[in-house]
Amino acid sequence: MQPAQKLKQLLEQNISQVVVGKSAAVGLVLNALLCGGHVLLEDVPGVGKTTLASAFARSLQLSFKRIQFTPDVTPSDVTGYTRIDFKTGESSFHEGAVFAQIVLADEINRTSPKTQSSLLEVMQEQQVTIDGQTHPLPGPFMVLATQNPVDFVGTYPLPEAQLDRFFMRVSIGYPTAEEEVRVLDMYMQKNRLVEELQPVCTQEDIIKLQAQVGQVRVSREMRVYITNIAQTSRQSRSFERGISTRGAIALMRAAQGAALLDGRDYVMPEDVRSMALPVLSHRVVLSPEARVGSRGATAEKALTRLIGSIQVPVRVK
């Protein structure tokens, strides 16, 4: 078994001790981490978003901090601030909550746009600039943000620039009846807590695998396939805004990560299709015509139809 495959299997087994039936979400978050990206966990309350993020960080032996976003959280709470000693006149930097390897931005849409924007440099450059001084963040680094997609009272929708910084948007979903029984069994038996999870790898292992993602081959035919998806979305009447070049790059990178986690050193069409929805659905905007003309229209449904209409390359290596 390839190292990346083995890590994925160990991680899913470890997290399943506290989060039942979410192996698909775990695989996507691991893919994003190996690709150096950030993840928006969007789902209804109470399905395990926070527990998944905490278990993920502990399983990888990475430092973890949680920011509970509320309207009164300020940018300095997130990034840090310069503290001045009035007795000596000396200044020192006080680190904010983002100075960890895995940062959980819990309910990110409940804080003000100004505070949300404080994460832009953090997510793009992996650094914080305060009073002209740049402070690098520890690596490997990832922001795992959560938001409730159905509660709009007291929330501030994420601006497009912020959404575009997220490598993937992942939905955990409700458990099946069998999985929910297992969850209740765990609570009755007082099974292991997140704090008791043991790491399955080190940060050095993650850094090595991150380097391997870039070595996965993407043939010209596969690059043309990804480009066709992006170009077609911009011409489609279903979208007011299609896939950007950054979105196409993210899709190619995610496909490389998927191939690596599947034990291959080259990308196949299946890798692209499996990553398309989590990577692209939050980067497109449905047109008014699509919303009115189709009951229950969603970006995911429109993207699925679009990708199904594009010719799949035969030669992939």
Q: 86 vs 102, which has greater pLDDT?
A: 102
Residue 315 lies in a domain: no
| Residue 151 reports pLDDT greater than 70 | no
Using a 10 angstrom Cβ sphere, with 0-12 exposed, 13-18 middle and 19 or more buried, the burial of residue 199 is: middle
Residue 90 lies in a domain: yes
Do 138 and 223 have their domain in common?
Answer: no
**Of the residues 152, 171, 203, which one is the last residue of a structural domain?**
203
| Residue 216 reports pLDDT greater than 90 | yes
Residue 275 lies in a domain: yes
Q: What is the pLDDT of residues 196-213, one digit of tens each?
A: 889 999 889 999 999 999
Element (H, E) at 42: strand 39-42
First to last CA, the chain: 21
Do 245 and 126 have their domain in common?
Answer: no
Do 195 and 254 have their domain in common?
Answer: no
Domain count, the chain: 2
Do 121 and 264 have their domain in common?
Answer: no
Alpha carbons 216 and 218: distance in angstroms, whole number: 7
| Residue numbers of the domain that contains 239 | 214-308
**Of the residues 184, 203, 222, which one is the last residue of a structural domain?**
203
Residue 73 lies in a domain: yes
Which has the minimum average pLDDT: 27-31, 49-53, 231-235, 300-304?
49-53
Distance of CA 76 to the CA centre of its chain: 23
Do 219 and 198 have their domain in common?
Answer: no
Do 256 and 180 have their domain in common?
Answer: no
Do 31 and 141 have their domain in common?
Answer: yes
**Of the residues 203, 236, 260, which one is the last residue of a structural domain?**
203
Strand partners, 103: 65, 143
Query: What CATH number is associated with residue 129?
Result: 3.40.50.300
| Residue 144 · residue 38 · CB < 8 Å | yes
Of 30, 2, 38, give the one whose Cα is nearest residue 14: 30
Q: What is the pLDDT of residues 41-57, one digit of tens each?
A: 987 777 778 888 888 98
Do 75 and 153 have their domain in common?
Answer: yes
Do 186 and 218 have their domain in common?
Answer: no
pLDDT for the residue 193:
77
What pTM was estimated for this model as a whole?
Answer: 0.90
| Residue 182 reports pLDDT greater than 80 | yes
pLDDT for the residue 296:
72
Percent of the chain having pLDDT more than 70?
Answer: 95
Query: What CATH number is associated with residue 233?
Result: 1.10.8.80
- Whether cis (ω within 30° of 0) applies to the bond prior to 140 is yes
Do 103 and 147 have their domain in common?
Answer: yes
Query: 174 pLDDT band (50/70/90 cuts)?
Result: confident
Residue 316 lies in a domain: no
Residue 107 lies in a domain: yes
Residue 208 lies in a domain: no
Do 104 and 240 have their domain in common?
Answer: no
Which has the minimum average pLDDT: 61-65, 161-165, 197-201?
161-165
pLDDT for the residue 122:
92
Residue 75 lies in a domain: yes
Q: Count the helices and strands in the chain (H runs, E runs).
A: 14, 11
